[in-house]
Structure 1
């Protein structure tokens, strides 16, 4: 532990080591939840039925492709911070905070599942954003800001699709 005259130990990025480890752990929680979100999207993409099939089938594919890119970005940020990204289904399930969609085929139910998942991801991301901001971790901070901005817009669009007020 550092005293008043001593600087905290930093990693090669110049970030405080202890706090960076905490952020990496939070990023692994986000990674786990993004994997569940991704699987939910695959499920609704495969199982969607009804008159809005064509519209939603394409939208869910767009969203799961985006989620797949974000999963890679999160894992690489964990590595950049010097830790190992989680990579087993057991870890993902243990850290999951999202509703798991099972056999969701109705359009409105599927859209609500996606919106609720995004809202839950936002909660995790805001914690990470706060923590990364405290230590000047601009790499993580920027990534979280970008994710939050995109996901808030997606929620707005999905709510508009549902004809619900924000």
Structure 2
């Protein structure tokens, strides 16, 4: 087995970088969704949701950078074109979402997709002994599960 300069299997690192690129593409779609609902939200919940969506897109932007840098650390090249993101993304695209409930549902649906990808990466990084990627996914999952819970509470629904 060939080992890279950070002590991981080069083959497993390549696979993880590919999985992280899938996550990156999905995070970029999620980020754009958040920007769109931040800009377009209307109604009585405007002030609260406008601020919350800004908080979420700021966090998503940080995570995009973290994922891209982890891909580079593993020896990969981060995707960086909209065509690449569109081709690899499973997160639903929100177009002209301005109603509060639709916006919250878009966030929940988007996070469900991100969590599925992150759980897959968590398992793969554990198998590869890649603590850096594993810790990142664990942190992302913990934060996003809480966000889903809060969004579902806003919708008055069970997780």
What's the TM-score, normalizing by structure 2? 0.99
Match of 1:43 among 25, 36, 42: 36
Structure 2 residue aligned with 1:161: 154
**Cα deviation, residue 61, structure 1:** 0.2
Question: Is there any run of 5+ residues in structure 2 with no aligned partner, and where?
Answer: none
2:77 aligned residue: 84
List, as ranges, runs of 4+ consecutive aligned residues in structure 1 with deviation greater than 3 Å.
none
1:82 deviates by: 0.8
Cα distance in structure 1, aligned partners of 2:148 and 2:105: 10
Q: For residue 145 of structure 2, what is the aligned residue in structure 1? A: 152
Measure, in 2, the Cα distance between the counterparts of 1:140 and 1:165: 30
**Deviation for aligned residue 1:149:** 0.2
Distance 1:118 1:135 in 2: 25
**How far off is 1:165 after superposition?**
1.5
> What secondary structure is seen at the aligned counterpart in 1 of 2:38?
helix
3-state SS of paired residue (2:151): helix
Equivalent in the alignment of 1:122: 115
Q: For residue 93 of structure 2, what is the aligned residue in structure 1?
A: 100
Q: Distance in 2 between matches of 1:23 and 1:74?
A: 11
**What is the count of residue pairs matched by the alignment?**
159
RMSD: 0.5
Give the deviation of 1:134 after TM superposition. Answer: 0.2
- In the other structure, the counterpart of 1:131 is 124
- Corresponding residue to 1:26 among 14, 19, 32: 19
Match of 2:2 among 9, 19, 23: 9
Q: Based on CA coordinates, which of the two structures has the bigger radius of gyration?
A: 1
The CA deviation at 1:135 is 1.2
